[in-house]
Amino acid sequence: MKPEIIKNLKKHRVCDRSTDGKVITIKDGDCLTIITAAPDGTLKIEHKLLAA
């Protein structure tokens, strides 16, 4: 299944949300931020630098 694309009021892509709603992916330039919701209610935030 494809992730849901989330856009702001100006119709710009802000992030992608997984179909189960547990993972948000934000890409800004060569940086990728992945936010994952755990069953206990905590959030895991990962930052990755994409190869240029």
Question: Which secondary structure element, helix H or strand E, spans residue 20, and what is its range?
Answer: none
Domain hosting residue 16, numbered range = 4-49
**Euclidean distance between CA atoms 30 and 11, whole angstroms:** 21
pLDDT truncated to tens, each residue of the chain (52 aa)?
688 999 999 999 999 999 999 999 999 999 999 999 999 999 999 999 998 6
